[in-house]
Amino acid sequence: MSNEQMDIIGIGAAIVDVFADITDEDLRRLNMPKGAMTLIDTDASKDLLGQINVHTSTAGGSAANTIAGTASLGMSSGFIGKVANDPFGDIFANDLSKMNIKLFGQPLNNDTPTGKCIVLLTPDAERTMNTLIGAAAFITPEDLDAEVLKQTKVFFAEGYLFDSPQGVETFFKACDMVHAGGGKVVLSLSDSFCVERHLNTFNQALAGPVDMLMSNDAEAKAMFGGASIQDRIAAMKQKNIDGVITRSADGAIIVLSHEVTEIAAEKVDQPVDLTGAGDQFAAGFLSGVASGKPMENAGRRGAVAAAEVIKHVGPRPQVNLQDLIKAANLA
């Protein structure tokens, strides 16, 4: 695919979120600690799927959730990720297609299945998760379309990409392609443990091709240290790093060319599920960047998108975010 301009393309782990309702007794029988997130292998995944009744399967993964948000915001959006040539791979691809998101990357044709996060829901709404990375770990530079990336305004990568054997190589090659066309590269730190695993490589990326960083305060602390968020901001200024630090109910701070802009969080009286708040903040913010909006506008877009997703269960918007942006006079 070539000669196709895209507003935003994300890259990361292609994971299918698989949901099943179970009882506390079932959890004990399965010998799973309630609320835990466990990495499992292919055999364990097959065994678990054989013991539960799945009621919902949707495309997931951090960067993919963000791209779902950018599509809801009216941005032409794409995602680079690796799925297997199997039924769950079809679920991932079809789900993105329904949202008008273009999926790039060649399906994996071996015995490795599509990655999945099996979410076990107990009656108290607690989530116990079992994650198989699967095919998602096998992304390579061959999954990149140079012509498309050269015509991409914003390229968004999740830090989890660096966990893949060829993820780092793929990231840096993609950055070259994006910059060749004048696009911007945005990197999300994903989580503080991811920062600990890849601190040196993240530093190389921030000193090199990354134009903007996205993180929450815990991730920023792992990246830059410091006793307070002011220390983290000072470190970003000292290293000439532009980016955003999100702080949940305390809003977000944007550091750009040594200027600091504070963004207040949108008021939500009764948050239901905080899952996906950071992913959707990123979606709103990136839509502003891709549209050439001022940083305050981009930040407020992020706050509006994050507020929507915490009003319901699930990491993706359930209403058209473009309508919310228009209602907030941010279009």
Q: Which residues are catalytic?
A: 279
φ, ψ for residue 37, nearest 5 deg: -115, 120
User: Which SS3 state, helix, strand or coil, does residue 145 take?
Assistant: coil
Cα four-point dihedral sign 316, 318, 320, 321: negative
CA pair distance 104, 224, nearest whole angstrom = 33
CA distance 306 to 300: 10
> To which H or E segment does residue 195 belong?
helix 192-197
Cα–Cα distance for residue pair 323/326, rounded to 1 Å:
5
Dihedral sign, Cα of residue 33, residue 247, residue 212, residue 317? positive
Distance from chain centroid for Cα 96: 14
CA separation for the pair 221, 232 (Å, rounded): 7
